[in-house]
Amino acid sequence: MATTHIKRSTSASRLVNYAEKRAVKKDGLNLDIQYAKSEFKQVRDVYGNPGKTQAYASRIAFSPLEFNPQDFHDQATVLAVAKEVYAKAYPNQQVALYEHADTDSLHVHAVIGAINLATGQKMHGNWHQYRDHLVQVTDQVCQEQGLMVTQPDPNRHEKRSMAEIKLRAKQQPTWKDQIRQAVDHTMQNPLIRDFQAFQADLKQQAVKAWERGKNLTYQLLGTNYKSRGTKLGIDYEKETIFNELASRQTQSRTNQQPERAIKATVDSSRTNFNRTTELSRHPNSVSGNSQNVSRSTTATNRTNRSTGQSTISDNLKQLRQQQRQLTGPIKTDLAGFLRRFSKADQPDQPRKSNRAQTNSSRARPKQPTPQPTQQPSEPDHSRDNGPNR
């Protein structure tokens, strides 16, 4: 089982100096391993492509369950397997291989030249692509050689270097552990729902966090210790943090909608109650009218209850009408006779009084004749009392 790693470097010579000191075995691909630094420089000068990136530092580590670091046969086997891996992964690159046996597992450091010998162009892409490509080739070669293929742990959320693993074995915390603990403590707070609140809470724990491209970078305040989230683990990467914060915001909006609806219902009911109370005090209010309507409804019900007596009232009305028809001509003749009789009995008055009365009648303003009010259809008893004057 082999694990791989790769990252870019601005100095190929520095990588060679570090790897060459501890090497128990070394080999090269497309270069002479004894003159690795000079040949790297010669290729850069020939192709005229200096730039900042000169090489890529890579490493392949093998499990101690398969190879013994102190066994010379295992050392040779591991170096041969590593050379085959890099020959398939980067056939047109300069690669210097240095095998180390100073840890519990045999591992090989590789210095990969950035310039492609076939095209003269530098390697283009990012280290994620390079690492995925190197992992695929390594698994293929290990399977062909009968070695165990590395199975990624889906539950592994933290990435630790060998130095961190050793410190953890000694139960000594590292500065990366301090950052992890601070982030864990912040994300346990359900009120942290945006990145600004996330930054503010971390700052109270002496950790600074900011966006850097597609990643998050964390730094212990007052120190130069800083690390990207991709090196701390999956739980500390930008995508994981931002997805969790967005999920909390969505859940918060969903929870607030029923509360707002209940509050609006309560407020509207209170408003309607207050309006009803105020309107009921007004004489022209709907409530007063509703009382009138209820009274009229009650009267109508009473009328409906008395429908059984309608037949008797109709008969009485017909009888009274017949009486008026019979007594009408008699009353008319009697009234005319009485008028003529009263005129004959009245004495003559002098003309002056008649003129005065005439003038006074002219002087008086004309008063509007009162309109007779409609009375219910009851029998007219006034005609029975005598003539009208």
CATH topology of domain 2-144: BirA Bifunctional Protein; domain 2 (3.30.930)
Return the number of other C-beta atoms located less than 10 Å from residue 62's C-beta: 23
C-alpha 147/C-alpha 141 separation (Å) is 8
pLDDT at site 52: 83
Domain ranges of the chain: 2-144, 162-245
C-alpha 47/C-alpha 50 separation (Å) is 8
pLDDT at site 201: 94
Which of the 8 DSSP states describes residue 205? T
One digit per residue, pLDDT tens: the chain, 389 residues? 567 778 888 899 999 999 999 899 999 999 999 999 999 999 988 987 767 888 999 999 888 888 888 899 999 999 999 999 999 999 999 999 999 998 888 899 999 999 999 988 888 766 667 888 888 898 889 888 888 776 655 555 566 666 676 766 777 778 888 898 899 999 989 899 999 999 999 999 999 999 988 889 999 999 888 888 888 888 888 988 998 898 888 887 887 766 666 666 656 666 665 665 555 555 554 444 444 444 545 445 544 544 545 556 677 777 777 767 766 665 666 666 667 756 555 554 444 445 544 455 454 545 555 554 444 444 544 444 444 43
Contact 111, 95 (CB under 8 A): yes
Name residue, tokens 């047109």. 92
332 contacts: CB under 8 Å, gap ≥ 6? none
pTM: 0.46
pLDDT at site 149: 76
pLDDT at site 66: 87
Tell me the residue type at 266: V
